[in-house]
Structure 1
C-alpha cells in the first residue's frame, strides 16, 4: 500500500507544480488555448525532476460506422507503477483541407490533450473547445440552413454570416459549403423581395 501511495504522492506534487499556459491563439475566434504539446512542454521538466515518465498511446475504435481515437496517457514511476487516463475523440467525416492522415493526427492530438488534462487535473472549461458557441453544437448542413432560413432581416443575416462564415468554411467540404452559400443568397433575396430589409 505504501508503494501505491508514493505514486499518488508524486503525481499529486506534479499536478500542483505543473504550469501549462495557453500558448496558442485562434485568430478567428480570438481566444487562447493550450495544445497537447503545450502540456507536454510544461510537464517534461517535472517528470525529469521526479524520475517519472508519461507514455501516450492511441487505439482506433469503430462505433456505428464512425471512427474514434482512444488516447491513453500513462504516468509511470521509476519502480514501474502506473496510473492511466483515457479520452476519446471522433474523426469528422470530412474536414476541408485535410487528408485522412492529417484528420486522424488532429483527432489523436485532441484526444491526447484531454487524456493529459485528466491525468494532470487541468481544467479547460474556459477553452474554446468548451465555449457555448451556437454553431459549435451544429455540425449538419441542414441545421445551418434552417438557422439561415429563420433569420428575418438582411442586417441580421449578414451579421450571422460575418460571425460564422469562417467556421462554416472550415468545417464543411466544398459541396456542402457551396450549398450553404446558396441558401444564404436565396434567403437574402427572399427577404429583399418581401421588403423586410432594416
Structure 2
C-alpha cells in the first residue's frame, strides 16, 4: 500500500468515541489524546507513524497556534499532513502564559487530527433549521414531516417586546467581568461556555444567556473544593 492507501485504511478503521464528559456544558467530547490512543494500533498495523507538532504564528494583531498532524509511511517515508489553527485568548484569568498556550495547543492539535483522519466534531450550518415559517401556536414545523418539534426550554414568562429585546442584546462589560471571575473561581476554560451557547467570543453572549450560565456557575463548585 502507498501512503494514501494506508491513511485511507486508518480513516476507515479509526474509532474515537466521545468518552469525555463536560458536566458544566452537559455534553460529551473527545480530546487529542483519545484520537492518538485510538490511532496507535492502526498505525502499527499499516507500518506508519503519526507526528503532531505546533508553532506560534502572528496573524494581524493576534497570536494563533498552528498545529500540524503528519501521517508518515515508515516504508517509503512519504507523508500526508493537515494543519489547524486555534487563537490564544487575550485574557485568561487564573492561568499563566504557558497554560494558555498549552490549552490552545491541545485544541489546535485535536482539530489537525480531526482533519487528517476525517473526524467530524460538530454539525455544520446546513444542519440547522433557519426557516422563518411557524405553525399555529408559534412553533416551527418540520419541513419533511409537517410535525411540530418537541418543546424546547421555556422562554422567560412575562416578557414584553422590550424585555425580549433586552434579553437578546449582548452583555455589557460588567457582566462579562462576572463571567470571567466565575471561570476563574471554577477553573473552567472559556470554550466550555462558548460551546454551550455556540458563540466564538464571550462578548457574544446575550443577557438571556447570561442568566442561564450564571445558574450553571452557582451549581458548580470552586476549583479549590
TM-score with structure 1 setting the length: 0.68
Equivalent residue number for residue 122 of structure 2: 125
Following superposition, the deviation at residue 166 of structure 1 comes to 7.5
The whole-number CA distance in structure 2 between the counterparts of 1:88 and 1:167 is 29
1:105 aligns with 2:105: no
Distance in 2 between residues matched to 1:126 and 1:168, nearest whole Å: 26
1:139 to 159, 184, 202: 202
Change (3 A) 1:121 1:135: closer
Q: What residue in structure 2 maps to residue 7 of structure 1? A: 3
Paired with 2:197 and 2:22, the residues of 1 have a C-alpha distance of 17
SS in 2 for 1:45: helix
Count matched residues: 150
SS in structure 2 at match of 1:49: helix
Contact 1:28 1:166 in 2 (8 A): no
Q: C-alpha distance in 1, partners of 2:78/2:27?
A: 38
Query: Separation in 1 of the partners of 2:41 and 2:215?
Result: 38
**1: CA distance, partners of 2:17 / 2:112:** 17
Superposed CA deviations along residues 62-119 of structure 1, whole A, max 9, x for unmatched, are: 1222110000000000110000000000000112321111110111100100000000
CA distance in 1, matches of 2:9, 2:59: 38
Q: 1:43 aligns with which of 39, 43, 48?
A: 39
Task: Give the TM-score of the pair, scaled to structure 2.
Answer: 0.60
Runs of 4+ in 1 over 2 A off after TM superposition: 126-129, 131-140, 165-169
Q: 1:54 and 2:50 equivalent?
A: yes
CA separation of 1:167/1:81 partners in 2, compared to 1, >3 Å: closer, same or farther?
farther
Partner of 1:70: 66
Q: Does 1:83 align with 2:80?
A: yes
| Alignment RMSD | 2.7
Judge conservation of contact 1:55–1:74 (CA < 8 Å) in 2. Answer: yes
State the distance in 1 between where 2:210 and 2:195 align.
Answer: 18
SS of 1:12 mapped into structure 2: helix
Unaligned runs of 5+ in 2: 125-190, 219-225
User: What is the rounded CA distance, in whole Å, between the counterparts of 1:6 and 1:138 in structure 2?
Assistant: 43
Larger helix proportion, structure 1 or 2? 1
How far has the Cα of 1:24 moved from its partner? 0.9
Per the alignment, residue 152 of structure 2 pairs with none
Q: How far 1:135 moved relative to its partner?
A: 6.1
Give the Cα–Cα distance (whole angstroms) in 2 for the partners of residues 62 and 125 of structure 1: 27
| Inter-CA distance 98–115: structure 2 relative to 1 (3 Å threshold) | same
